[in-house]
């Protein structure tokens, strides 16, 4: 079964609507031309978002119960505010630049539909904006999917001991909100002899592990090849990239949370308030579609650490796992470990009957 699926996948005949058919001539580089790691020349924009939220909120107060057209008017008003600031003689150059960036960021398009130049443009603005606001420089990539890469993940249930190092590594790597303790990964502690009984499992334990008579398994976004969540998004703010990653454009998301209702795997998280990461803990190696700082009222999710995986590294959870339960790699590379696992182990996926085609397999030794 698995081999069949893989065979198909190498011919790109996965059971999926490839929304991103535009294709990847675009390729690897971020603005600076480096293909891996941070290029160090761009920077992201967290405080920027905070500022924008401020604008939004001021205007939203007056916007109670109006339709989308009214919202547009408000957006224009924000822009007008930015313009008036940028034209003001009194304000300093930096203020003007900030206003200019706010203006352009407010009216930029959907990242999915951007050309490479536009992608670089927004990344540069975000980096500069962060610099203006905090004085710190971050590196942000807009690296596209590479050709002949399809990411997949396998989880060894026999090995996992429930240490949750993956969970903390994920939070640190991906700049998740510390206040709400947002976590992409959930580790389910299950009782031996009960099989995969999620109902009786505990995904919120605080005792010493491994606990006697229990086994552990982790769930996160499975990066389905036929993801229900992307179909329901009214604005295409979330989509499947050519390397199989299901990503979100945080700046395009309107926060309706329809995707959360549509996900059968509890893979998505929402920023119920403004996410906060202490400045010294911010991971400054970022990707536009990955761990850049988020804002209030948008959906986010695991991206298989796009900032790492597209730079040829393993996701943070794989690297952090002390037991080697997590395996990540390119499904189209016949020599990859993930391929070896799929071909030599009895693998299965969760809720296969839903037709979602997760690229996340479980197996046992």
Partner 1 sequence: MRRIKVFGSLVKDSIDVITHGSKKYHIWMAVLSFVMLVGMYCYSIQLDEGLSVTGMTDRVSWGLYISNFTFLVGVAAAAVMLVMPTYVLKDVDFKQAVLIGEGLAVAALLMCLAFVVADMGGPSVLWHMIPGIGVFNFPNSMLTWDVLVLNGYLFLNISIPFYILFTRYQGKTPNPKIYVPGALLSVFWAVGIHLVTAFLYQGLQARPFWNNALLGPRFLASAFAAGPALIIVVLAIIRTYTLFKIEDKTLKKLAMVVTVAAQINLIMLISELFKEFYAPTHHSESAYYLFFGLDGKTALLPWIWTSISMNVLATVMLTFHKLRNNFRVLFFACVMLFVAIWIEKGFGLIVPGFIPGPYGKIAEYTPTGIEIGVTIGIWAFGAFVFTMLAKTAIKIETGVMQYKNKKST
Q: Where on the chain is the footprint of partner 1 (CB under 8 A)? A: 55-57, 59-61, 63-69, 71-72, 74-75, 78, 109-110, 113, 180, 182, 186, 188, 198-201, 203, 219, 228, 231-237, 251-258, 260-266, 268-274, 296-299, 354-356
Q: How far is the CB of 41 from partner 1 (least distance, A)?
A: 28
Q: Report the candidate in 141, 130, 138 with the shortest Cα–Cα distance to residue 97.
A: 130
Q: How far is the CB of 193 from partner 1 (least distance, A)?
A: 18
Q: Report the candidate in 225, 312, 290, 315 with the shortest Cα–Cα distance to residue 28.
A: 312
State whether the Cα torsion 334-339-343-349 is positive or negative.
Answer: negative
Kindly tell me which of 151 and 184 has the beta carbon lying closer to partner 1: 184
Tokens 């703010």 — which residue?
A: 237
Q: How far is the CB of 114 from partner 1 (least distance, A)?
A: 12
Kindly tell me which of 209 and 262 has the beta carbon lying closer to partner 1: 262
For 33, residues 6+ apart whose C-beta sits below 8 A from its C-beta are: 39
Kindly tell me which of 334 and 355 has the beta carbon lying closer to partner 1: 355
Kindly tell me which of 39 and 103 has the beta carbon lying closer to partner 1: 103
Kindly tell me which of 189 and 341 has the beta carbon lying closer to partner 1: 189
Kindly tell me which of 147 and 198 has the beta carbon lying closer to partner 1: 198
Q: How far is the CB of 113 from partner 1 (least distance, A)?
A: 7
Q: How far is the CB of 66 from partner 1 (least distance, A)?
A: 7
Q: How far is the CB of 160 from partner 1 (least distance, A)?
A: 16
SS3 call for 52: helix
Classify burial at 37, counting beta carbons within 10 Å of its beta carbon; exposed 0-12, middle 13-18, buried 19 or more.
middle
Query: 339 to each of 16, 217, 235, 303, how far by Cα in Å?
Result: 20, 21, 35, 20
Rg (CA), the chain: 21
């Amino acid at each position: 079964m698995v081999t069949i699926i893989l065979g198909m996948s190498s011919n790109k005949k996965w059971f999926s609507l490839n929304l991103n058919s535009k294709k990847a001539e675009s390729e690897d580089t971020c603005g600076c031309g480096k293909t891996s790691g941070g290029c160090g020349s761009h920077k992201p924009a967290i405080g920027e978002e905070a500022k924008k939220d401020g604008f939004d909120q001021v205007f939203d107060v007056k916007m109670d119960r109006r339709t989308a057209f009214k919202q547009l008017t408000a957006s224009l008003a924000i822009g007008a505010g930015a313009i008036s600031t940028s034209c003001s003689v009194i304000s300093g150059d930096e203020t003007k630049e900030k206003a200019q960036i706010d203006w352009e960021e407010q009216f930029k398009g959907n990242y999915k539909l951007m050309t490479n130049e536009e992608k670089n443009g927004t990344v540069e603005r975000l980096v500069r904006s962060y610099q203006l606001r905090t004085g710190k420089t971050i590196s942000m990539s807009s690296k596209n999917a590479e050709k002949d890469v399809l990411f997949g993940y396998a989880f060894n249930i026999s090995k996992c001991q429930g240490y949750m190092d993956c969970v903390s590594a994920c939070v640190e790597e991906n700049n998740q909100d510390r206040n709400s303790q947002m976590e992409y990964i959930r580790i389910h502690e299950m009782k031996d002899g009960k099989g995969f009984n999620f109902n009786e499992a505990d995904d919120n334990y605080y005792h010493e592990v491994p606990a006697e008579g229990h086994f552990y398994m982790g769930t996160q976004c499975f990066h389905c090849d036929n993801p229900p969540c992307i179909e329901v998004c009214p604005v295409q703010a979330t989509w499947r990239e050519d390397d199989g990653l299901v990503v979100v454009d945080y700046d395009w998301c309107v926060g309706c949370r329809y995707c959360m209702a549509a996900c059968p795997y509890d893979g998505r998280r929402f920023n119920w308030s403004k996410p906060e990461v202490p400045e010294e803990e911010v991971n400054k190696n970022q990707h536009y579609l990955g761990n850049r700082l988020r804002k209030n009222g948008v959906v986010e999710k695991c991206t298989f650490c796009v900032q790492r995986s597209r730079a040829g590294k393993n996701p943070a959870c794989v690297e952090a796992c002390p037991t080697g339960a997590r395996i990540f790699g390119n499904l189209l590379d016949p020599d990859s470990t993930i391929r070896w696992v799929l071909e030599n182990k009895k693998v299965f996926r969760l809720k296969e009957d839903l037709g979602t085609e997760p690229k996340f397999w479980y197996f046992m030794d």
